[in-house]
Structure 1
Amino acid sequence: MTRPPTAPDARATDYVVSLAQVTKEYAGGVKALAGVDLAIGRGELLGIVGPSGSGKSTLLHVMGTLDRPTSGAVTLASHDVNALSDRRLSALRARHIGFVFQAFHLVPSATALANVAEGLRYSGLPRRERQRRAITALDRVGLGDRMHHRPNELSGGQKQRVAIARAVAGEPDVLLADEPTGALDSASGAAVLDLLRELHADGATIAVITHDLELAASLPRQIRIKDGRIAADLRQGDA
């Protein structure tokens, strides 16, 4: 059964991110998003799935306020994104969103601890608090004994755990994970997914963007994207 695309998880008490009739067009009339309605409730774990060119990456950028929509409304943590200046939008993003990317984006010369602490540089927190939060986040993802290792001393799965620690250290309202297992072997990928499920069980709101239908189907909610539109909004157990 396909549910209305704006329906949140039953456990959610409010929306962290919502989109209403969002479009995104690029030069040459290319329409990457074509009237998307989507709401993510606090405490949800969902997969946003679709083939290459479906619009899922554009949706990630719009949800994450990395890109503004051509039309329609985007609300993040009760703030109207379209009404904010670039400076205020950057501050809102830093406070409310954590990003995890397939390529890790770690500083090669920095330790795991320094990589995570650096992610908090624009949070306004004093250095000692940034350090404390980085240590806590690395412990949380099971890397308390690897925090002084540099990326070249870590496995692919461990690098992704560092990236996840960096994303959650600021205690964001929503974690956006873009193909978080795409660069990993199957065992490491499964371990990263287990970690995301653990974070969700602790109350984190997580959206996983992927091309993997099997991965998306294993999550409590899956949003299927096709040709810039939501083709289906499904819960586990739906036929």
Structure 2
Amino acid sequence: MTAVLELHDVTRVYGDVQALRGVTLSVEAGELVAVVGPSGSGKSTMLNVIGTLDRPSSGTVTITGHDVSTLSDDALSALRAQHVGFVFQHFHLQAGATATENVADGLLYTGVSRRARRERAVAALERVGLAHRVDHRPHQLSGGEKQRVAIARAVVGEPTLLLADEPTGALDTAAGAAVLELLCELNDAGTTVLVITHDLELAASLPRQVRMRDGAVEEDSTSDATALAASIRACATRSPR
């Protein structure tokens, strides 16, 4: 298989704080990975480095074969637009915009026409089960629906890699389970997904777990064939839509 993401001996230092300490990690195309750890473990810093929102102090980060340290800011923006989708815990939706307009914003820097952006946004909302909410604004949506809009915005550009930062953290149990099910469905359709979480139960339900502590990878484990099949079934049936 082809590595979508590779980190080699990555560090990130802020003043006297070493947030990442020699992180080495490889994620292949089509994987579904949980990056888990307590607050302060370095997982959010690693997310920012992986998503090219921050540059490492040393080491290399390669996304779809591109060494990001060699890219200009404009080239990094293009790489994000083409290959990386972000889902955040608190949605980051524009309050005055409809669901369609929020999702279409995910295509602003891709050169797609306004009409095509709207068409693709509606298709993405249909994909996440929100065909009946395309003209609703965030205040008219439940928490779970807002997160689905955020996921639609993240995948509307068909990214190679989807980064989900605590995607269920602001949701109740049922809505969180439904969002996790959707992430599993997207992965099953071919999207490589990294879920950043402090939720050990959520992490345990996914096929691969990367455990962070004190800025370093403490453990990297993959379920065996039997456990993997069980986890995928559990992921797909956690909650009805």
- Normalised to the residue count of structure 1, the TM-score between the two structures is 0.93
- Which structure has more helix as a fraction of its residues? 2
Give the RMSD, CA atoms, in angstroms.
1.1
Alignment correspondent of 2:95 = 108
* Number of residues of Structure 1 aligned to a counterpart in Structure 2: 226
Per the alignment, in what secondary structure is the counterpart of residue 62 of structure 1? helix
Equivalent of 2:13 in 19, 25, 31? 25
Alignment correspondent of 2:45 = 58
Q: Which amino acid aligns with 2:30?
A: G
Per the alignment, in what secondary structure is the counterpart of residue 113 of structure 1? helix
Q: Which amino acid aligns with 1:62?
A: V
Q: Which amino acid aligns with 1:221?
A: R
Q: 1:45-124 counterparts in 2 under 5 A?
A: 45-124=32-111
Please list the CA deviations of residues 65-115 of structure 1 after superposition, one character each: whole Å capped at 9, or x if unmatched: 000000000001111100011111111111110000001000000000000
Q: Unpaired segments of 5 or more residues in structure 2?
A: 228-241
Q: Report the identity percentage.
A: 63
Give distance in 2, aligned partners of 1:40 and 1:147. Answer: 34
Question: Would you identify which runs of 4 or more consecutive aligned residues in structure 1 move more than 2 Å?
Answer: none
Give distance in 2, aligned partners of 1:126 and 1:110. Answer: 18
Displacement, 1:237? Answer: 3.5
Equivalent of 1:200 in 187, 198, 201? 187
Per the alignment, in what secondary structure is the counterpart of residue 74 of structure 1? strand
Displacement, 1:50? Answer: 0.2
Equivalent of 1:190 in 141, 153, 177? 177
1:14 paired with 2:2, answer yes
Q: Which amino acid aligns with 2:5?
A: V
Alignment correspondent of 1:165 = 152
Please list the CA deviations of residues 214-237 of structure 1 after superposition, one character each: whole Å capped at 9, or x if unmatched: 110100100000111111111124
Give distance in 1, aligned partners of 2:101 and 2:145. Answer: 15
Give distance in 1, aligned partners of 2:22 and 2:105. Answer: 37
